[in-house]
Amino acid sequence: MNPFQIDPRHLPPEGRQLSGVLPPTFFALAEDDPVRPESSLKYELLVLRDGEDLVLTGHLEAEFSLECGRCLERFRQRVVLDPFAEEIPIEKEGTIDLTEVVREDILLALPNFPRCEDGNVDPRECPAEGRFEAASPAAADEAPGADKGVWDALDQLKN
């Protein structure tokens, strides 16, 4: 049974403690996703009803591997959300699934443009540090207007 299925009507006034681990499949990431879960999700949450909201507070933790956008090597990053706090409006009768909120909040804590320096498990310097930028000032995902360059390139392919 998914521990994140909560029926607000059955919550005791002092709230409910949820704690445990869920397998990496919890994150529902595709096989070929550059973000790869490398550990279970550890969670310790208190779920409380506050009027028209469900209030979640506690601790979430999981480890991922990401691909450095500079050297293309994988590195590990541990995400710890502590304190984790989230409010979910109770919009309908019945069970509310917290899965999506928990998943999103953890994945959003990962960097958009991962670099080796973001790694916090085995800190290391990026082997490509400095080289890539020097060779190509328009580092694709950092230069403003980079998208335009992509479209120009596509246009040229068409012609």
Residues that bind Zn ion (CB under 5 A): 68, 70-71, 116, 126
Mind giving me the DSSP string for 80-114?
EEEEEEEEEE--SSS-EE-HHHHHHHHHHTS-SS-
Q: Decide whether 56 or 68 has the Cβ nearer to Zn ion.
A: 68
Rounded-to-integer distance, Cα 122 and Cα 116, Å: 10
Least Cβ distance, residue 57 to Zn ion (angstroms): 35
Least Cβ distance, residue 106 to Zn ion (angstroms): 22
Q: Decide whether 56 or 126 has the Cβ nearer to Zn ion.
A: 126
Least Cβ distance, residue 65 to Zn ion (angstroms): 12
Least Cβ distance, residue 129 to Zn ion (angstroms): 7
Rounded-to-integer distance, Cα 95 and Cα 19, Å: 19
What phi and psi values does residue 104 have, to the nearest 5 degrees? Answer: -60, -45
Q: Decide whether 41 or 77 has the Cβ nearer to Zn ion.
A: 77
Question: Which two tokens mark 44?
Answer: 């310790």
Residue partners of 14: CB distance under 8 A and separation at least 6: 48
Q: Decide whether 93 or 122 has the Cβ nearer to Zn ion.
A: 122
The number of angstroms, rounded, from the C-alpha of 35 to the middle of its chain's C-alpha atoms is: 9
Q: Decide whether 45 or 68 has the Cβ nearer to Zn ion.
A: 68
What phi and psi values does residue 66 have, to the nearest 5 degrees? Answer: -130, 160
Least Cβ distance, residue 115 to Zn ion (angstroms): 6
